[in-house]
């Protein structure tokens, strides 16, 4: 397991927490590998009923580590970020997320695969894929227009508009907005309620609620192919380098 993830098991719930607060919990390859491992453990262990994910410090996650994007651009399905993305729609047991702060990029798109999402009052969301000169991932280009309508999805994905917890709730992206200091307990309460229910009925109901996953998987494959190309583009490399050098990007 990654040094930047902590794992706790109690009440048949596995809680995984991002533990890289000094870097706003930006996700490294190592963290994606740890997440895939956690998802696999929950799937295989009959004693576990729910996966609960949250962050430490003031951020849920600032998204993919930009330095990793530069050094190890993901290429195929074996790349840790792609393995994590592929694992998300395949999670059969309930997946609960407590968004404790900033949720950027994959920090927001992974929520589209969660069953219940609770957001701290201070949470903020942003999907800046276009600004990074790449394209969105996690099937979000398929899921968001269907969940929010194309107008709103375009605002969030093309304009990359940041939004707060209240707006996320109004959009139906989160179940409830909770005072910051009550967030974890509230998410845990929901996880415990799920863990106490008949597990097979929960799994089957989740599957029915999700509907057919083929179009989501198809969108993910298309997005993944474009991201692999875009991430190596001059534009994207300029954005990533500019971020690391703490300067605005220049496009000549």
CA distance 197 to 49: 9
Which one of 15, 32, 39, 63 is in contact with ligand COA (CB under 6 A)? 63
Which phi and psi angles does 62 have, rounded to 5°? Answer: -85, 20
Shortest Å distance, C-beta 211 to ligand COA: 27
Select from 47, 45, 11 the least CA-distant residue to 189. Answer: 11
Structural tokens at position 39: 């998802």
Which phi and psi angles does 85 have, rounded to 5°? Answer: -60, -40
Residue 171 buriedness (CB in 10 A; 0-12 / 13-18 / 19+): middle
Q: How many residues bind ligand COA (CB under 6 A)?
A: 15
Instruction: For the segment 26-55, give every residue that binds ligand COA (CB under 6 A).
Output: 26
- Helix/strand/coil percentages in the chain, nearest 5: 50, 15, 35
Indicate whether 112 belongs to the interface with ligand COA (CB under 6 A): no
Indicate whether 178 belongs to the interface with ligand COA (CB under 6 A): no
Which one of 35, 81, 104, 216 is in contact with ligand COA (CB under 6 A)? 104
SS3 call for 139: coil
Indicate whether 124 belongs to the interface with ligand COA (CB under 6 A): no
Indicate whether 111 belongs to the interface with ligand COA (CB under 6 A): no
CA distance 123 to 180: 9
Shortest Å distance, C-beta 26 to ligand COA: 3
CA distance 129 to 175: 25
Which one of 4, 12, 17, 24 is in contact with ligand COA (CB under 6 A)? 24
Indicate whether 237 belongs to the interface with ligand COA (CB under 6 A): no
Nearer to ligand COA by Cβ, of 97 and 190: the residue is 97
Indicate whether 110 belongs to the interface with ligand COA (CB under 6 A): no
Nearer to ligand COA by Cβ, of 87 and 132: the residue is 132
Interacting residue ranges for ligand COA, rule: CB under 6 A: 23-24, 26, 62-67, 102, 104-106, 128, 132
């Amino acid at each position: 397991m990654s040094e930047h993830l902590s794992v706790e098991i109690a009440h048949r719930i596995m809680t995984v927490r991002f533990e890289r607060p000094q870097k706003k919990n930006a996700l490294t390859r190592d963290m994606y590998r740890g997440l895939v491992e956690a998802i696999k453990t929950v799937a295989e262990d009959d004693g576990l009923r729910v996966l609960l994910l949250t962050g430490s410090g003031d951020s849920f996650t600032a998204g993919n580590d930009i330095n990793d994007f530069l050094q190890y651009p993901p290429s195929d399905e074996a790349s840790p970020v792609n393995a994590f993305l592929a694992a998300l729609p395949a999670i059969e047991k309930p997946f609960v997320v407590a968004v404790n702060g900033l949720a950027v990029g994959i920090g927001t798109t992974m929520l589209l695969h969660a069953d219940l999402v609770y957001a701290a009052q201070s949470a903020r969301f942003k999907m800046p894929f276009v600004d990074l000169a790449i394209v969105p991932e996690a099937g979000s280009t398929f899921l968001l227009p269907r969940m929010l309508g194309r107008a709103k999805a375009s605002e969030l994905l093309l304009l990359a508009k940041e939004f707060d917890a209240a707006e996320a709730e109004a959009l139906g992206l989160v179940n409830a907005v909770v005072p910051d200091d009550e967030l974890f307990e509230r998410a845990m309460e929901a996880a415990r309620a799920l863990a106490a229910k008949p597990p097979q009925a929960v799994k089957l109901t989740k599957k029915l609620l999700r509907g057919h996953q083929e179009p989501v998987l198809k969108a993910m494959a298309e997005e993944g192919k474009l991201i692999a190309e875009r991430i190596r583009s001059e534009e994207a490399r300029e954005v990533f380098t500019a971020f690391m050098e703490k300067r605005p990007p220049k496009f000549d």
